[in-house]
Amino acid sequence: MRRVAIRQVITAGSLVFVWCALWGEVSVANLASGSLLAAAVTASGVGTAGRGGVRLRPLARFAALVAVDLVISTVTVAREILTPSDRTDEAIIAVRVPTETRSHLLLLIVAITVTPGTAVVDADPDTGTLYLHLLHGDRRRGLEHHVQELAGLACAALPVTGGSDHSPGAEPDSTATGHSDRRK
């Protein structure tokens, strides 16, 4: 029970951080509204199912990687804005994440979208596919690898054991999607 509470606190804290980052400032109003939003999200059960621990070293590596991404992408987008020529080659790509990562889709979506120049425009939790908008389509391969690296760190930082509909080898739950798997 204690691990679930720690996980919920980390999830809520991360959501409040992202909320403030998206608004561009830390204020009482943003902290309050972000806290309400985080409470609603964690109470609804969105996020990781099952139980697991928090591993601080991979979590710190994940946070550091996102911070570095934030700085690099901010400089890249600022350079695009300030230069008179338009070197953007926008694209929407589909990136599939491993099955074990599907419990961490919310974390991945937030980590990818918070960095300028990339945004998750859609996600399919059933297939583990993220649809990303890129300012530079020629960086597709590097970004696909980067998303896989983020996914691996998310799984290492917040391992999920038991109770997950998306755990490796789990059968699809027909009650969760409202339809049955016809391949059986």
For 36, the domain range is: 1-46
Q: Which residues, 6+ apart, have CB-to-CB distance to 12 below 8 Å?
A: 35, 38, 39, 41, 42
Position 178 in a domain: no
Position 92 in a domain: yes
Q: Taking 80 as the threshold, does the pLDDT of residue 66 lie above it?
A: yes
For the entire predicted model, the pTM comes to 0.60
| Residue 35 shares a structural domain with residue 126 | no
Position 176 in a domain: no
Q: List the one residue out of 93, 88, 97 whose CA is nearest residue 126.
A: 97
Span 139-169, pLDDT tens digits: 889 889 999 999 999 988 888 765 444 444 4
Span 74-109, pLDDT tens digits: 998 888 889 898 888 899 999 999 888 888 888 899
For residue 149, count other CB atoms closer than 10 A to its CB. 13
Span 13-38, pLDDT tens digits: 888 988 988 888 899 999 999 899 88
**Helix axes 56-82 and 140-157, enclosed angle (nearest 10):** 150
The pLDDT assigned to 27 comes to 92
